[in-house]
């Protein structure tokens, strides 16, 4: 008895230990394979047409959730009216594949007829009309494109709004689209609903009312969208979106064009929604405006919140769970409660219908997930293994960066050409003048320090130079070119990089990802190239990673072992270093550092000073805000002093220190002058 039990334990232990030996990636592959096989075999196991139908519908909602995941999960744009794109796609396909829209026949339509897209319909006594007969395989992409177009149309004026305002505006669009559909009967047949939308045909075989082909098509759509989402997520575009989600301002300082990337996310999300709309309406063969109202948008949002924003598998899992809940578990649970009611003879129990309370459950899910598990069922970020003692030890090294850093090189410039020149720069906020008539020259390949008491306008000056703020008057030049008023990302593209006084890292991204984001303006992989995983983009990604590791490695043991750790887990000093590493990644010509040594002890401060010096040696220009006067004295070629927004002194360390205005500004007047 014991022996066989022992043998069983061995066998069970065998599988368990085999499982343990697999890596995380292999385990995920195994689970995915099993799940995929189950999903593929599902219609063969359960032959009930109704169940397969419900499953096909679930596929549609899963793809909608994946589409919204790109908008909300990746780019952080809360869209409460996503059903609008679902509707637009559905009605577009409906118009192209039914008898609804019947313009009068003219020769214009003949080439389309030749292509098989339209038909000429003749009825006695009335002029001939056009019958749209777009094939599903053409109509669906068209629906996606039309939806994407509306996504861009809605997004262009509104995407610069703040998160909660954007949500309300998208809610508004989500309301307007069904109303327009209801009030435009010529195209949509209004509230009565479309009649006779054609189902897809494959090799002459029409899907008709069979659910199986739709189910498999739905699975294919999910698989395709998972692939696209993952490819985008791990690409330059995905990183840029996540940077936007984390900190818009820092993202634009990293060279990311906020407007175009947000529109891209919105448009791609809309395209996915439109594509699903075509699928859904071709299956149902009808569409009414009531099918696309606010509760549908909320349901998709619930899927994302439940699954985990930005988590592709989480979202699909959540879609499956909610569908199972609606179609099976709640019905079964209701049945059990009714049986219980009969048993205890309670009329109320026998009348309970849990299926009706699915919306209530949605509300409860939203509240509980936000309160207790904001990252969702399957969080988008993964846990990192702990560091060994070796990896944790770091000693301050002197002498700066040992090896040259890719991209940091001397800038060929005319003699006497300043790297940065600021002329008569002024910034007013209502009655307050933050910066007044500032004239600054930062020579190439030098280190210039900007000092002054608190509130003297140093950070404002930085903001004005880097495009985070717009000057009231005055100009900023980079290597002789006027860059006044340019947006932040354009300025980064031209070669100015910066760090922030209060640290603006992308907290939920790793050190490596933070550094990679900064290369946005130096790389070119677009969404299409990333999705198709073209060799060119793979090579670019490889090169970018190498470059990133080079930069991270330049900081030695401080950052290198932590390359895959989330930045928010790092120490304050290390986070400062990441900011600098990130700034270096954009191959700048000039680096603006805002209090880089804040929070560092004297040894670390010396280390960083040395590193700055070696950067200058490599050819970089550094413009530096610092409070630690010993650092300033040590490395600055020129010091500029600001007070109350005006330049009060300029020169070498000795010159500045003996300047009475400077002393007054820092130390105050003598009592006798009061």
Partner 1 sequence: MMIRINRRQLMMTTVGALALSTLAISTGFAPVQADEKLVTIGIELPLTGADADSATRIKNGAIMAIEEANSKGGVGGYKLAVTVLDSGTSTAGQYDPAQAATNAKKFVADPSVVAIVGPEMSGEGKAMTPILSAANLATVTPSSTNPDITDPKFAGQYKPNGKAIYFRTVTTDAFQGPNMANYMRDTLKVKSVYILDDSGAYGVGISNAFEGQAKKIGMTVMGHDQLDPKEADYTTVITKIKGLNPDAVYYGGVAQAGVKVAKQLHEIFPSVIKAGGDGMVDGGLLSAVGFPAIEGWYCTQASPHVMDDASMTDWVARYTKEFKMTPSDYAITAYDAVQVIADSIKRVSAGGQPVNRDTVRDAIQSANINTLQGPVSFDENGDIVSKVISVFEITHDPKSADDDVQHQYKYIGVAPESPTS
Partner 2 sequence: MTYSDVLLQQVINGVSLGAMYSLLALGFTMVYGIIELINFAHFNVFMVGAFFSMWILKLTGLAGEKVILTGLPLAGVLLLALVCVMLFCGVLGVVIERTVLRPLRNVPGTAAMITTIGVSYILFNVILLSQGAAAVNFPNPMPKVQWNVTVGTVLKLREVLLWTIALLLMLGLHFFVRRTRMGKAMQATAQDQEAARMMGIEVDSVVMTTFFLGSALAGAAGLVFGLYYNFASYVIGYTAGLRAFTAAVLGGIGSIPGAMLGGVIIGLIESLGGQLIATRWTDVIIFSILVIVLVFRPTGLFGRMMIRKS
Site of interaction with partner 2 (CB under 8 A): 76, 78, 80, 157-158, 161, 163-165, 167-169, 171-173, 175-176, 179-180, 182-183, 298, 301, 305, 356-357, 359-360, 362-367, 370-371, 374
Beta carbon of residue 366, minimum distance to partner 2 (angstroms, whole number): 3
Select 177 or 649, whichever has its Cβ closest to partner 2. 177
Which stretch in 324-332, 433-441, 454-462, 605-613 sits in contact with partner 1 by CB under 8 A?
324-332
Q: Where are the alpha helices (DSSP H) in 234-378?
A: 236-246, 248-253, 258-284, 294-307, 312-324, 330-344, 347-351, 358-372
Instruction: Say which entry of partner 1, partner 2, none residue 175 contacts (CB below 5 to 8 A, set by partner kind).
Output: partner 2
Instruction: Say which entry of partner 2, partner 1, none residue 332 contacts (CB below 5 to 8 A, set by partner kind).
Output: partner 1
Contacts of 101-107 with CB under 8 Å at 24 or more apart are: 101/130, 101/132, 101/186, 101/187, 102/129, 102/130, 102/131, 103/129, 103/130, 104/128, 104/129, 104/130, 105/129, 105/130
Beta carbon of residue 243, minimum distance to partner 1 (angstroms, whole number): 33
Instruction: Say which entry of partner 1, partner 2, none residue 172 contacts (CB below 5 to 8 A, set by partner kind).
Output: partner 2
Query: With binding defined as CB under 8 A, does residue 5 bind partner 1?
Result: yes
Q: Could you tell me if residue 400 is left (phi over 0), alpha (psi between -120 and 50 degrees) or otherwise beta?
A: left
Beta carbon of residue 219, minimum distance to partner 2 (angstroms, whole number): 30
**What SS3 state is found at 613?**
helix
Parallel, antiparallel or unpaired: strands 118-121 and 621-625? unpaired
375: Cβ contacts below 8 Å, ≥ 6 apart? 308, 309, 381
The torsion angles phi and psi of 94, rounded to 5 degrees, stand at -60, -40
Query: With binding defined as CB under 8 A, does residue 359 bind partner 1?
Result: yes
Q: In angstroms, rounded to a whole number, what is the distance separating the alpha carbons of residues 66 and 222?
A: 8
Instruction: Say which entry of partner 1, partner 2, none residue 370 contacts (CB below 5 to 8 A, set by partner kind).
Output: partner 2
Three-state SS for 96-156 is HCCCCCCCECCHHHHHHHHCCCEEEECCCCCCCEEEECCCHHHHHHHHHHHHHHHHHHHHH
Query: With binding defined as CB under 8 A, does residue 14 bind partner 1?
Result: no
Which stretch in 109-117, 190-198, 310-318, 498-506 sits in contact with partner 1 by CB under 8 A?
190-198
- Per-residue interface string for the shown chain with partner 1, residues 203-222, x marking contact by CB under 8 A: -----xx-x-----------
Beta carbon of residue 17, minimum distance to partner 1 (angstroms, whole number): 11
Query: With binding defined as CB under 8 A, does residue 133 bind partner 1?
Result: no
Instruction: Say which entry of partner 2, partner 1, none residue 140 contacts (CB below 5 to 8 A, set by partner kind).
Output: none
Select 94 or 174, whichever has its Cβ closest to partner 2. 174
> DSSP class of residue 292?
G
Beta carbon of residue 70, minimum distance to partner 2 (angstroms, whole number): 16
The torsion angles phi and psi of 418, rounded to 5 degrees, stand at -75, 150
Whose CA is closest to 449, among 621, 665, 659?
Answer: 621
Number of residues forming the site for partner 1 (CB under 8 A):
53
Instruction: Say which entry of partner 1, partner 2, none residue 161 contacts (CB below 5 to 8 A, set by partner kind).
Output: partner 2
Beta carbon of residue 209, minimum distance to partner 1 (angstroms, whole number): 4
Residue 414: how many CB atoms within 10 A of its CB? 9
Q: In angstroms, rounded to a whole number, what is the distance separating the alpha carbons of residues 663 and 644?
A: 14
Which residues within the stretch 257-296 sit at the binding site for partner 1 (CB under 8 A)?
A: 280, 283-286, 288, 290-291, 293, 295-296
Name the token pair of 430. Answer: 């209502």
Select 366 or 394, whichever has its Cβ closest to partner 2. 366
Which stretch in 355-363, 527-535, 542-550, 632-640 sits in contact with partner 1 by CB under 8 A?
355-363
Q: Per-residue b/e over 352-369, b at no fewer than 16 CB within 10 Å?
A: eebeeeeeeebeebeeeb
Task: HSE, CB side, 13 Å, CA atoms: give it for residue 391.
Answer: 11
Task: HSE, CB side, 13 Å, CA atoms: give it for residue 515.
Answer: 30
Query: With binding defined as CB under 8 A, does residue 351 bind partner 1?
Result: no
User: Which residue in the block uniquely carries the two structure tokens 């069983």?
Assistant: 8
Query: With binding defined as CB under 8 A, does residue 191 bind partner 1?
Result: yes
Whose CA is closest to 87, among 150, 178, 169, 171?
Answer: 178
Select 150 or 279, whichever has its Cβ closest to partner 2. 150
Instruction: Say which entry of partner 2, partner 1, none residue 14 contacts (CB below 5 to 8 A, set by partner kind).
Output: none
Q: In angstroms, rounded to a whole number, what is the distance separating the alpha carbons of residues 1 and 191?
A: 71
Query: With binding defined as CB under 8 A, does residue 24 bind partner 1?
Result: no
Beta carbon of residue 39, minimum distance to partner 1 (angstroms, whole number): 11
Select 175 or 634, whichever has its Cβ closest to partner 2. 175
Instruction: Say which entry of partner 1, partner 2, none residue 113 contacts (CB below 5 to 8 A, set by partner kind).
Output: none
Name the token pair of 582. Answer: 């990130």
Which stretch in 15-23, 102-110, 256-264, 500-508 sits in contact with partner 1 by CB under 8 A?
15-23
Which stretch in 47-55, 424-432, 454-462, 554-562 sits in contact with partner 1 by CB under 8 A?
47-55
Query: With binding defined as CB under 8 A, does residue 46 bind partner 1?
Result: yes
Q: In angstroms, rounded to a whole number, what is the distance separating the alpha carbons of residues 395 and 516?
A: 26
Beta carbon of residue 5, minimum distance to partner 1 (angstroms, whole number): 6
Select 301 or 449, whichever has its Cβ closest to partner 1. 301
Query: With binding defined as CB under 8 A, does residue 182 bind partner 1?
Result: yes
Q: Contact 469/427 with Cβ under 8 angstroms? A: yes
Query: With binding defined as CB under 8 A, does residue 357 bind partner 1?
Result: yes
User: Which residue in the block uniquely carries the two structure tokens 């790092």?
Assistant: 570
The torsion angles phi and psi of 89, rounded to 5 degrees, stand at -65, -45
* Binding positions for partner 1, rule: CB under 8 A: 2, 5-6, 9, 16, 19-20, 31, 38, 45-54, 57, 182-183, 190-193, 195-196, 208-209, 211, 280, 283-286, 288, 290-291, 293, 295-296, 299, 324, 326, 328, 332, 353, 355-359
């Amino acid at each position: 008895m014991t022996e066989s039990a022992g043998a069983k334990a061995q066998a069970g232990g065998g599988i368990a230990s085999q499982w343990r030996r697999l890596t995380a990636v292999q385990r995920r592959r195994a689970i995915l394979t099993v799940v995929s096989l189950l999903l593929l075999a599902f219609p063969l196991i359960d032959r009930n047409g109704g169940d397969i139908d419900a499953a096909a519908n679930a596929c549609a909602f899963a793809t909608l959730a994946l589409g919204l995941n790109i908008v909300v999960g990746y780019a952080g744009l809360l869209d409460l009216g996503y059903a609008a794109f679902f509707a637009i796609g559905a009605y577009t396909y409906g118009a192209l594949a039914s008898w609804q829209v019947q313009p009068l026949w003219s020769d214009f339509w003949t080439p389309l007829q030749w292509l098989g897209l339209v038909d000429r319909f003749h009825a006695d006594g009335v002029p001939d009309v056009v019958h749209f007969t777009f094939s599903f395989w053409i109509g669906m992409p068209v629906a996606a494109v039309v939806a994407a177009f509306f996504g861009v149309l809605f997004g262009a004026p509104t995407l610069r709004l703040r998160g909660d305002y954007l949500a309300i505006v998208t809610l508004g669009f989500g309301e307007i689209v069904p109303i327009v559909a209801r009030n435009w009967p010529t195209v949509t047949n209004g509230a009565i609903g479309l009649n006779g939308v054609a189902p897809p045909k494959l090799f002459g075989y029409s899907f008709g009312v069979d659910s199986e082909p739709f189910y498999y098509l739905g699975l294919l759509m999910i698989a395709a969208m998972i692939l696209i989402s993952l490819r985008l997520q791990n690409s330059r575009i995905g990183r840029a979106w996540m940077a936007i989600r984390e900190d818009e301002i820092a993202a634009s300082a990293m060279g990311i064009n906020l407007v175009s990337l947000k529109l891209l996310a919105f448009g791609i999300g809309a395209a996915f929604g439109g594509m699903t709309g075509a699928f859904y309406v071709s299956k149902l063969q009808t569409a009414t405006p009531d099918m696309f109202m606010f509760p549908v948008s909320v349901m998709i949002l619930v899927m994302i919140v439940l699954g985990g924003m930005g988590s592709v598998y989480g979202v699909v899992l959540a879609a499956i769970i909610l569908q199972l809940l609606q179609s099976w578990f709640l019905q079964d649970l209701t049945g059990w409660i009714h049986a219980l009611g009969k048993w205890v003879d309670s009329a109320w129990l026998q009348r309970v219908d849990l299926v009706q309370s699915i919306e209530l459950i949605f509300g409860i899910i939203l509240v509980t997930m936000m309160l207790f598990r904001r990252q969702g069922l399957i969080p988008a970020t993964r846990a990192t293994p702990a560091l060994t003692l070796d990896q944790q030890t770091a000693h301050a090294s002197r002498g700066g960066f040992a090896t040259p850093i890719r991209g940091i090189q001397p800038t060929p410039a005319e003699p006497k050409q300043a790297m940065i020149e600021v002329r008569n720069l002024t910034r007013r906020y209502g009655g307050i003048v933050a910066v007044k008539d500032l004239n600054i020259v930062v020579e190439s390949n030098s280190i210039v320090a900007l000092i002054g008491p608190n509130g003297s306008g140093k950070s404002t000056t930085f903001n004005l130079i880097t495009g985070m703020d717009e000057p009231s008057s005055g100009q900023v030049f980079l290597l002789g070119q006027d860059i006044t008023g340019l947006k932040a990302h354009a300025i980064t593209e031209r070669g100015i990089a910066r760090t922030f006084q209060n640290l603006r890292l992308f907290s939920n991204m790793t050190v490596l990802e933070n550094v990679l984001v900064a290369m946005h303006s130096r790389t070119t992989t677009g969404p299409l190239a990333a999705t198709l995983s073209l060799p060119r983009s793979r090579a670019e990604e490889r090169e970018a990673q190498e470059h990133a590791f080079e930069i991270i490695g330049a900081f030695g043991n401080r950052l290198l072992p932590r390359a895959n750790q989330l930045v928010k887990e790092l120490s304050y000093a290390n986070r400062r270093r990441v900011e600098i590493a990130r700034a270096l990644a954009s191959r700048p010509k000039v680096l603006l550092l805002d209090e880089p040594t804040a929070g560092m002890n004297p040894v670390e401060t010396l280390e960083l000073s040395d590193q700055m010096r070696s950067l200058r040696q490599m050819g970089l220009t550094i413009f530096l805000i610092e409070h630690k006067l010993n650092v300033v004295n040590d490395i600055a070629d020129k010091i500029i002093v600001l007070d109350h927004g005006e330049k009060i002194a300029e020169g070498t360390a000795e010159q500045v220190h003996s300047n009475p205005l400077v002393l007054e500004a820092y130390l105050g007047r003598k009592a006798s002058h009061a």
